Amino acid sequence: MSEKLDALVLGGTGFLGLNLIEALQAGGHRVVCSRRRSSNTIFARRLKVPLVQATLEDEGSLVEAMRGRETVFVFAGHYPRYSVDTERQVANAVAGLERALHAAERAKVAKVVYLGSVVSVARPANGRPARESDGVAAVPEGSTYFAVKVAMEAAAERAKAAGQDVRILCPTGCMGRYDYKVGTGFFVLGMASRKLDFFVDGDINIVDAQDVARASIATATLERAPDSRLIVAGHNVRVAELLERMSQRYGVPMPARQLSAEEGYALAESEERRCLESGRGRPRLTREMVDVVVHGQFVDDSKTREVLGTSPVGLLQTLDEAREWYGQNGYLKADDVA
Ligand SMILES: NC(=O)c1ccc[n+]([C@@H]2O[C@H](COP(=O)([O-])OP(=O)(O)OC[C@H]3O[C@@H](n4cnc5c(N)ncnc54)[C@H](OP(=O)(O)O)[C@@H]3O)[C@@H](O)[C@H]2O)c1
């Protein structure tokens, strides 16, 4: 694994992109980060990574940003935070990814690593942990996030089938540093600040964002594209068990209420409506979060471990680092991380 990459991280200003840039820099690879005009570049600037403007809406900007790079990591993508207007959101997401893949061909990029999501992996009928070969997930009724991710992966598979070197990774729920928009870090932040007063239980898998970065680099340095998508996973855990681990480790109480799936959906719907109608605030719970838990599943990542030679860090290390990062960056009070 001594090959040095010359890479563009499309979506490098986001949570997983920042973790990837840090890992690429630590490994001595050359890396450039894309940004949009509106991007928050505070963390990218701290990493002193060169920035280049590109948006998925403008293929010309993508070609310019990719020119001269041999590897492009596609970590950007339409990320629906609200479950509204699914058809339009899916069409936008697919069009954006297709532009990126087309731009990579025009710029003569040798390989593309596309970061999808484990939500596109079907649930096996017999209840065993899901594997790459389990087919494409059925989209739960009304789930924009699942619909977007399944359609994007299909677009990446089409490009691959047409001969482009596209390497597809499907990470599970990611936690770690730089989750500044607060995705899966919601659990850590909510528990550490003692503000999480409810949860919906279900099977999930939590992977460290740095493990996703390491797996992405390992995938890019493989001589040939793997024969299938690869699941990038950490630890299979029930939500209740995850919260219990944090409760014990940080000496904080468990959330007062466990919501049923129906109660979770009802709360998410009213929270999304409140924020959309007022144009203010963040939902305490989103439809995406409930979908990911209710339709979540345990996974078997043995193929990835074998193909990439990677293994995940411990769950407590991931939780501790995420909590510490939120403490250092003003999301938590000093008392919350003491
Ligand atoms: N976080 C997780 O737990 C998780 C789990 C599984 C899969 N994934 C997938 O991994 C990918 C990255 O996730 P993330 O958590 O890092 O998301 P994120 O923090 O929202 O970052 C997304 C990145 O993509 C960029 N981007 C979005 N739309 C763009 C557009 N139209 N043109 C150019 N750039 C655009 C964003 O730019 P701005 O900074 O300007 O917004 C940002 O740099 C997503 O596709 C997500 O679905 C994430």
Q: Per-domain residue ranges for the chain?
A: 6-176+205-234+298-314
The interaxial angle of helices 144-161 and 86-106, nearest 10 deg, is 30
The C-alpha torsion from 211 through 216 and 221 to 224, rounded to 10°, is 120
Q: What pLDDT is stored for residue 304 in this prediction?
A: 98
Atom of ligand 1 nearest to the CA of 54: 33
- The residue contributing the CA closest to ligand 1 atom 15 is 15
Alpha helices in 107-172 (DSSP H): 144-161
| Cβ atoms 10, 34 nearer than 8 A | yes
Residues in the chain: 338
**Of the CATH numbers 3.40.50.720, 3.30.365.10, 3.40.50.300, 3.40.50.620, which one belongs to the domain with range 6-176+205-234+298-314?**
3.40.50.720
The residue type found at 293 is V
Chain-centroid distance of CA 123 in Å reads 19
Atom of ligand 1 nearest to the CA of 56: 32
| Of 236, 223, 220, nearest in space to 301 by CA | 236
Q: What pLDDT is stored for residue 60 in this prediction?
A: 98
Residues of the chain under the 50 pLDDT cut = 1
Rounded CA gap, 239 and 288, in Å?
15
Structure confidence by residue, pLDDT tens digits, 128-174:
999 999 999 999 998 999 999 999 999 999 999 999 999 999 999 99
Rounded CA gap, 231 and 115, in Å?
10
Helix (H, G, I), strand (E, B) or coil at 274: helix
Q: What pLDDT is stored for residue 2 in this prediction?
A: 59
Atom of ligand 1 nearest to the CA of 41: 39
Q: How far is the CA of 260 from the centre of ligand 1 (A)?
A: 29
Q: Best substitution site from 15, 145, 187 to test ligand 1's pocket, by max atoms within 8 Å of Cβ? A: 15
End-to-end CA distance of the chain: 39
- The residue contributing the CA closest to ligand 1 atom 13 is 16
Give the number of C-alpha atoms closer than 13 A to the C-alpha of residue 332, restricted to the C-beta side: 24
Q: What's the predicted TM-score (pTM) here? A: 0.97
Rounded CA gap, 208 and 315, in Å?
8
